[in-house]
Amino acid sequence: MIDEYVWGQVDRISPEAPVQVVSVLRDSTTLGGAGNVVNNLAALGARVTVTGVIGSGPNADLLTTMCRNLGVDVSGVVRDPNRPTTRKTRIIGGHQHVLRIDRETKQTISQAQCDHIAGFINDRMASFDLVLISDYGKGLLTDTLLRRIIDSAQADKRPVIVDPKGLDFKKYAGATAITPNKREASLAAGIEIIDDETLEAAGWKLGQDTGVEKVLMTCGKDDMVLFERGHNPYRIAAEARQVFDVSGAGDTVLAVLGLGMAAGGSFRQAAALANVAGRIVVGKVGTATVSVEELREATEPSERALAAKQKSLSDLVPIVEQLRTEGRTIVLTNGCFDLLHVGHIKLLAASKKMGDVLIVAIDDDESVRVLKGPGRPIISARERLRIISALDTVDYVTVFSTRKLEDLIKALRPDVLTKGSDYADKPVAARMTVEKLGGRVVLVPVTEAVSSTRVINQIKNGNSGVKP
């Protein structure tokens, strides 16, 4: 499928009907459905062959071009001139999903198309490490085609993992695993899942009814539960994250689970990694992928996580562009941050609340000397970088020269630039540049009469400033 996003802002209600008026700012397209599984696999460096049915015309050309640009083998894709290429258009107003428009058919594929796809898979099976079946219920995966794919994989001893659809999961018999979400599992098992007891009953029933080796049930904020014959239910938890958009999370789980197994990991290891990946993508807006670096940061925290926040300006530019396409609000603040104090903490916390991503630009050592005088900074830029990176409110940190502040603003184009309210009587450098680029400058109230210079002078004078 093709996922199309129309991004805009909502300022009023239509006078013609009680609906929102979306002023369009930009459009974007990406691979959706099974294509999102392909996209996630390619983003993680996998070699991917894809097969399925699409239509003809510009949408079909666009879909195959996007796949080829990812290095994906599309020789197994069948074009049907009588079938539209599925296209889902989502209208996003600000951060709100306003409307979705689907252009598709769910008509069952022809016997000739079924034979072609089954033959293609059978001929190439020996070259595959693993088969992923992404069932979206659009007429492609008939009972006959599923049986032929799974039988072919079993004959070559290749694992098959299915992201299922519908009420009858028996059609997936012989697969290595199925990955239903909790709602899908509840409907297919005919058991309303309201607690742990009913969840386990549904999981075991699905395994028994379908004959698959493993049922990996994704449970949203409650993470995953794995059901395997002869074992107790195995719960896989991951760190909670803010949810922006759950669309495509199942695709990411399927991709990472499959790639983890194909790379030699055990099913449980791959499932744990897939759970982490799913939690990452729900924090993004729209159909999204997860990168190797994001997985590494999420699974190997501490020093590596701190280092991941530290970026050069050239590294930050593409990151910010990607965040902007996801509809994120970029906040920038800058300063010396020589000896971190409560005023800094409050400034950063307040700055974070003004958007989705907070970037902190730290003056380099030469700039601090010019601004603060001889003997400064007390703490080098390298150490200040590490200290600011350790704060949860901060997403990215960079070091820059004060004389290049305008260049920094022009490169990052922040939606908001923040400064402490002690700048109320001072000109804010680069204000005109920020506003000219469509951003705004916000002065954050700072009530504490504290500064790094004051703290340093108190230390030099042997006076802590604390009264007994």
Predicted confidence at residue 456, as pLDDT, reads 59
The pLDDT of residue 72 is above 80: yes
- φ, ψ dihedrals at 70, nearest 5°: -90, 0
Predicted confidence at residue 295, as pLDDT, reads 84
User: Rounded to the nearest 10 degrees, how much is the dihedral formed by the CA atoms of 88, 93, 98, 101?
Assistant: -20
The pLDDT of residue 237 is above 90: no
Could you give the 3-state DSSP secondary structure of residue 439?
A: coil
Residues noted as catalytic: 251
pLDDT digits over 172-215, tens only?
999 999 999 999 999 999 999 999 899 999 999 999 999 899 99
Predicted confidence at residue 243, as pLDDT, reads 47
The whole model's pTM is what?
Answer: 0.64
Q: Which domains are seen in the chain, by residue range?
A: 2-158+238-300 (3.40.1190.20), 313-460 (3.40.50.620)
pLDDT digits over 4-26, tens only?
999 999 889 999 999 899 999 99
| Closest alpha carbon to 270 in 251, 256, 255 | 256
At a CB cut-off of 8 Å and minimum separation 6, what does 219 contact?
Answer: 181, 182, 199, 225
